[in-house]
Amino acid sequence: MKRGAVVQWVVDHPVRSGVIAGWYQQACSAFAALVAVPLVIRLLGKTESGLWFSFIGTLAVLQLTDFGLSFVMARQIAYSLREEEGRPPAGPDFIETRGGWGGVSDVFACSLRVFRWLILAGVFALVLLYQVILPQGRLLAGAGSGTAVAWYLLGGAVVLSLQNKPYQALLDGLAMTYVTRFLAGTSLFISGFGALGALMLGGRLPEMASVVALTSVAHCLALRWAVRRVAGARLERVARLPGGLMRRFLHVAAPMGVLNLSAFCVTSVQVPLLGFLLGAEVVPGFYLAQRIGQMLNQAVMQLAYPQLPLFTRELAAGAKAGALQRMSRTIAWVVSVGLAANAVFVLASPSFVEHWVGPDRYVSTSVLVLMGVDYTIMAAGAAMAQFVLASGRNPFLWTTLANGALNLLVGPPLALSLGVIGLPIAGLASGLCTNYWFAPFQSLGLRRRLMQPPSPEVGNASGVSPSS
C-alpha cells in the first residue's frame, strides 16, 4: 500500500487508527520497559532504582495541575464542531460557543491562557514536594548529591508537558487521537532507551533525567507542528475571548480537576506512598507489577478513547441511536478484553518477571491476584464512566473523592501492619464502596436517556458514522 493510501485510510478510519496508535503507544512504553527496568534495577541497585521509580510515580501528581482542563477542552471542541447552532446542549457541562471552527478557536485560545498560568502551579508543587513533603518520610534517606538535580530535571519535563495539553486536546477533540498517541508513544520509546543509554554509558540519575527532559522538549515541538499542519488557517487568532467563556470554562473544569486528584489518590499514589512508608528498597517489585498491570489495562482502554469525541459529536447532532450503539459496543469490548488481559497479568507475569528481571524480584501471588481483580473491575467502570463524562455530565465528583479519601485513610495503616499487600486491599475495598458500583449505575441511566425518542425539533441525523 502506497504512503498516500495509508494516510487516507488513517483519516477515513479515525477510530481504528486511534486504537492502533494507542496500542503503538503502549507497545513503545512496554518495549522500553522490557529492556530498561531490569537493567535499571541491576545497575543502580535497590535504593537508587527505587528512587528513580518513586520519582516517576510522585511527579505524576504535577499532572493534576491540569485540573481537568484538557479533558473539558477536548470534549468541548468535539461539541463545538456541530454544524447547527441554537440546539439545546446535550449535557449540562457543554458550553454554548460559536459553531464550527469559530467555537474551536475560542476554546483553544481560552485554554492557552489558562495553561500559561498553570505552569506556576506546577513549579510551586515541584518545589513543595521535594523540599517539604518528601523529607518527612523515608524515601530520601539514601539520596545522593545528584538526587535533587534528577528530581528537578524530571519535574521540569513534566511541567513542560503541561504546556502540551491544549495542543493535544485540540487534536483529540478533532477525533485525531491517532496523532497524539503516535507522538506520545514515540516520545516514551526515545526517553526510555535514551535514559537507559545514559545509564550504560556511566551516567546516574541526573544524566538519565537529562535525556527525559530533552525528549519532552522534542515532544512539545512535534505537537505544535502537528496542530499547525492540521488546523492551518481554520484556527482563528482570538484577540478577545467571548464574554463569560473563561468563567464558564473554569466552572466546568473544576469538578473534573477534583475528580482527577481523587483518581490519583486511588492507584497512582501507591508507588510513592509505598516508598514513603516502607522505604525505597521495597518499591521495585511493586512498581514492576503495577507497571505491567497498568500497561495492559491502558492498552484495553485504547478501545474506548478514540470513540469518545465521535460519541460527543453524535450527541451534539441529536443522533441518539448511533451514540447508544457506539457506547454499548465499546463497553462490551472493554469488559471482555479487560477480563482476558488481567487473567494474563495474574497467570503469566510471575514467570515472565522471573526470566526478565530475576528470582525474588516480584510481588507475592496474593498481591498479584488482588491487583488483577481490582484492575478488571476498574477498567470496566472506567469505560462506563468515560461515556457518561463524554455526554456532558460529571456525576462522579463525590464518589471519586470518597474513593481517594478512603484509599488514603485505609492504605497507610494497612501497609504499615500488613506490608505491601495492604495497598491493593485498600484500593479494592475503597473502589467497591464507591465508583465500582456507581459507574455502572450512571451508565444505565445514560443508556435510558439515549433510548428515549428524540424530540421533533432535534431530529436524528448525524454526519458521523457509528462504524467509523
Q: pLDDT tens-digit profile of 423-464?
A: 899 999 999 999 999 999 999 999 999 998 755 544 433 333
As given in the structure block, the three cell numbers for residue 209 are 533525567
What are the pLDDT digits (tens) for 376-385? 999 999 999 9
- Which one, of 92, 98, 94, lies nearest residue 75 by Cα? 94
Residue 397's contacts (CB-CB under 8 Å, 6 or more residues apart) are 255, 258, 259
C-alpha cell at 198: 545514559
pLDDT per residue over 225-249, tens digit each?
999 988 887 888 887 888 788 888 8
> Average pLDDT of the chain?
83
Exposure string for 383-394, b = 16+ CB within 10 A, e = fewer: bbbbbbbbbbbb
| Residue 140: per-residue pLDDT | 73
Q: Which residue has the higher pLDDT, 371 or 263?
A: 371
Q: Are the CB atoms for 363 and 425 separated by under 8 Å?
A: no
Cα 122 to the chain's mean position, in Å? 17
